Amino acid sequence: MKIHFPENFVWGVATAAQQIEGAAFEDGRGPSIWDVFSRLPGKIKNGGIPDVCCDSYHNIERDVALLVELGVKAYRLSFSWSRILPVGTGEVNPAGIAYYKRLIAALKKAGIQVNATIYHWDLPYALQVKGGFGNREIIGWYLNYASILFDSFGQDVDYWVTFNEPIATFVGHAKGFFAPGLSDEKYARQCIHHLLVCHGEAVRLFREKHLPGRIGVVVDVWKHYPARPECPEDIASAVQNNEIEGYGMFLHPLFLGGYSEILTDYMKKNDLTPKMEPGDLETICQKLDFYGLNFYNGLYDNADEQRKAAEGGNFQNRPEQHLEAVYDVLHMLVREYKIDIPIYITENGIAQDDGPDRAAILNDDERIAYVAETLRHVRRAMDDGIDVRGYYLWSLMDNFEWSAGFAARFGLYYTDYEKMELIPKKSAPWYRSVIAENGFEIAD
C-alpha cells in the first residue's frame, strides 16, 4: 500500500545552531548558557561540550550539498543569538551576520526554503547573569535581536519561528538538568511568562515590517495518557505532565488566551503565579501564520512504575513507542486549542545510542520504521481534514544532543567527530526516495 502526500507537501530536515555549528568562540561569538552549562561537572553525558560539534560553521558547502543530495524542499535552522550579539545586546557582530548571509544564500541558490528559528535554547550567557528570561528587560533585549534578524534576513527567510520548544526554558529553570541548570519553579514560571510576551511582541514587530515570509511558533507535544484509565493517580500524573508541566503551559495562552484554569489554580495554590502587566495576555495570543509541532512519542503514565523509577529501580530508559499518538495530538490541536492555521511537523526522529559498532549505527532500520510509522499516522490525520503542510525530520546529521551530549545519534548522516566526515546511514537514501516519490510503500 502506498502512503502518498500532496504534491505541494514540504519535505525537510531540521537542525539548530548550538548543536551543529561549533566555532563556539571564533569570529567574535560570545558564550551561550549551554557553553557554560556544559562545563559544569556531570551535566552532560560523557562530558561533551559544544565547542566544535559538526563544525558546520566552516562547512556550509558540505551541509548544503547533503541537503541537495536528499532533495529536501526546506531546511530548518536557527540563529545563534550570541553569534549575532556576543553579549546579547549592543554591538552587532558583523562576522555572525556574514555567516548566516552565506548560509542562506547557498540555500536559496539550491532552491531550498529557509525555515529559521530566532531562539532555540541558547541564550547569551551575558544576559543570563542579568536574570535572563526572569528579568522583564528580556522583552526589549529579544525584540532588539529579532529586529536585527528581520532587517538582515527578512527578504530571504520563508518561515520564521519565534521560539522552539519553550519548555526547555522551564526545564532549565525549574528542573535543573537543562541550561542554565536552576531549580526554582517560581522563577521558571516568571521566565515562561516573559518568553511568551517576547513571542507576541516579535509577531507584532514582524507584521509592522511587512516582510514577505510567514511567522509561527514551535511547541513540542509529548502527550501523556493514564496507563490505567480508571486509576486516579495515573490520571493525575497525565494532567500534571500535560497541563501543568507540559504543552498546556504554552498552547493555552498562545491560542486560547490566558493560562488554563487548571494551571492558574495550581500556580495560585503553590504561590507560583508570575507577575504580569496589563495587556500581556493579549500580546501573547497573536494570530500566527503556522504552527510547528515537534512530536517524538506518546507516553503512558503508571504511578506505580514512576515510584519504582524514583526509587532507582526498574527505570525504563527507552519508553515504549506510541507513534499513533501523533494522530490524536493533531486532532487535539484543532479540537481543543482551536488551531486553524497550517501545521508543520517541525521535528520528528529517533536516537541511536553511540557505540563502537559503526556498521550497526549506519544500518538504521529502526529509524526508517519509526519515521514511516509516524508519517502513516500523519497521513491519517490529513485524510480527516487536518491541515498538515510539511514534515521536517530531526536531524540532518548526528550532533550535540543537549544533556545527552554526543551519545545520542539522531542523524540521517553519521558524524565522525574526529575526522568531521558525514556518512549516510541507510535512512538517508530511504528518506531521499520518500521525498522524490512524495510517499512510500508499506505492507498492507
Q: Indicate whether 443 belongs to any domain.
A: no
Residue 91: predicted pLDDT? 98
> In the predicted model, what is the mean pLDDT of residues 51-74?
98
Residue 327: predicted pLDDT? 98
Q: Indicate whether 145 belongs to any domain.
A: yes
Q: Indicate whether 90 belongs to any domain.
A: yes
pLDDT tens figures, 257-315: 999 999 999 999 999 999 999 999 999 999 999 999 999 999 999 999 988 888 865 44
CB atoms within 10 A of CB 420: 16
DSSP state of 32: B
Contacts of 261 (CB under 8 A, 6+ apart): none
User: Do 95 and 28 meet the contact criterion of CB atoms below 8 Å apart?
Assistant: yes
pLDDT tens figures, 352-371: 999 999 999 999 999 999 99
Q: Indicate whether 396 belongs to any domain.
A: yes
- The proportion of the chain whose per-residue pLDDT surpasses 70, expressed as a percent, equals 98
Q: State the residue range of the domain holding 55.
A: 2-438
The C-alpha atoms of residue 206 and residue 210 are separated, in whole angstroms, by: 7
Q: At what angle do helices 185-209 and 167-174 cross, to 10 degrees?
A: 150
212: nearest Cα among 292, 157, 162, 289 = 157
The C-alpha atoms of residue 168 and residue 182 are separated, in whole angstroms, by: 12
412: nearest Cα among 19, 69, 58, 53 = 69
Q: Indicate whether 444 belongs to any domain.
A: no
User: Which of the four pLDDT bands, split at 50, 70 and 90, describes residue 339?
Assistant: very high
Distances (CA, A) of 29 to 48, 218, 312, 328: 20, 26, 41, 42
For residue 192, give the 3-state DSSP assignment.
helix
Q: Indicate whether 422 belongs to any domain.
A: yes
> In the predicted model, what is the mean pLDDT of residues 226-246?
98
> In the predicted model, what is the mean pLDDT of residues 44-63?
98
**Residue 159 one-letter amino acid:** Y
Active site residues: 165, 347
CATH number at residue 54: 3.20.20.80
Q: Residue 180: is the preceding peptide bond cis (ω within 30°)? A: yes
Residue 315: predicted pLDDT? 46
Model confidence, pTM: 0.97
170: nearest Cα among 219, 108, 125, 239 = 219
- What's the number of domains the chain is made of? 1
- Max distance between CA atoms of the chain, in angstroms, equals 59
Residue 311: predicted pLDDT? 81
The beta strand positions in 139-298, using DSSP E, are: 159-164, 214-220, 224-226, 290-294
> In the predicted model, what is the mean pLDDT of residues 98-102?
98
What mean pLDDT is reported for the chain? 97
Contacts of 20 (CB under 8 A, 6+ apart): 53, 54, 56, 63, 396, 397, 399, 400
pLDDT tens figures, 407-443: 999 999 999 999 999 999 999 999 999 999 999 998 8
DSSP string, 342-411: -EEEEE----EE--S-HHHHHS-HHHHHHHHHHHHHHHHHHHTT--EEEEEEE-SB----GGGTTSEE--
> In the predicted model, what is the mean pLDDT of residues 190-194?
98
CB atoms within 10 A of CB 200: 22
The C-alpha atoms of residue 115 and residue 104 are separated, in whole angstroms, by: 10
What is the torsional sign of CA 166, 259, 176, 303? negative
pLDDT tens figures, 19-41: 999 999 999 999 999 999 999 99
The C-alpha atoms of residue 112 and residue 272 are separated, in whole angstroms, by: 44
Q: Indicate whether 113 belongs to any domain.
A: yes
Q: Indicate whether 126 belongs to any domain.
A: yes
Beta bridge partners of 2: 441
Residue 423 host element (H or E): strand 421-424
324: nearest Cα among 374, 397, 371 = 374
